[in-house]
Structure 1
Amino acid sequence: MSRKRKYSDEFRLMLVDEYLSGKNGGFKTIAKKYGINHSIVERWVHLYETHGSEGLCSSLGRYSGKFKIYVVEYMHMKEMSLKETANYFCIPSAPTVAKWEHIYYEEGPQALLKERRGRKSMINKKKLKPKKNVNENEELLAEVQHLRMENEYLKKLNALVLQREKSEQKKK
Structure 2
Amino acid sequence: MSKYSYEEKLEAVLRVIEEGMSYKASTKVLGTAQGWEQRWVKRYENHGPEGLLLHNGTYTGEFKQHVIEYMHREHLSASQTAVLFKIPRENQVLNWERIYYEEGPEALYIDRRGRKPKMPKETNTKKKQLRPEVEEDLIKEVQRLRMENEYLKKSNALVQERIKRESGKSSHH
* TM-score (structure 1 length as normaliser): 0.69
What's the CA shift for 1:64? 1.1
Partner of 2:3: 6
Partner of 1:51: 47
Partner of 2:29: 33
Partner of 1:160: none
**In structure 2, what is the Cα distance between the partners aligned to 1:124 and 1:90?**
38
Matched, 1:98 2:97: no
Secondary structure at 2:43 match in 1: helix
Which amino acid letter does the alignment assign opposite residue 40 of structure 1?
Answer: W
Query: Greater Rg, structure 1 or structure 2?
Result: 1
What's the CA shift for 1:60? 1.4
What number of residue pairs does the alignment pair up?
138
Contact 1:32 1:38 in 2 (8 A): no
Secondary structure at 2:76 match in 1: coil
Partner of 1:22: 19
Matched, 1:80 2:76: yes
**In structure 1, what is the Cα distance between the partners aligned to 2:74 and 2:52?**
24
**In structure 2, what is the Cα distance between the partners aligned to 1:20 and 1:26?**
9
**Which 5+ residue runs of structure 2 have no aligned equivalent?**
124-141, 161-173
Partner of 1:154: none
* TM-score (structure 2 length as normaliser): 0.69
Matched, 1:60 2:60: no
Which amino acid letter does the alignment assign opposite residue 24 of structure 2?
Answer: K
What's the CA shift for 1:134? 7.6
Which amino acid letter does the alignment assign opposite residue 30 of structure 1?
Answer: S
1:81-134 CA-to-partner distances (Å, cap 9, x unmatched) read: 111111111111111101111111221111101111123454136xxxxx9848
**In structure 2, what is the Cα distance between the partners aligned to 1:137 and 1:42?**
69
**In structure 2, what is the Cα distance between the partners aligned to 1:137 and 1:86?**
59
Partner of 2:121: 123
**In structure 2, what is the Cα distance between the partners aligned to 1:119 and 1:20?**
41
Partner of 2:130: none
**In structure 2, what is the Cα distance between the partners aligned to 1:59 and 1:67?**
16
Which of 108, 111, 117 matches 1:112? 108
Q: Quick one: percent identity of the two aligned structures?
A: 39
Change (3 A) 1:120 1:39: closer
Secondary structure at 1:98 match in 2: helix
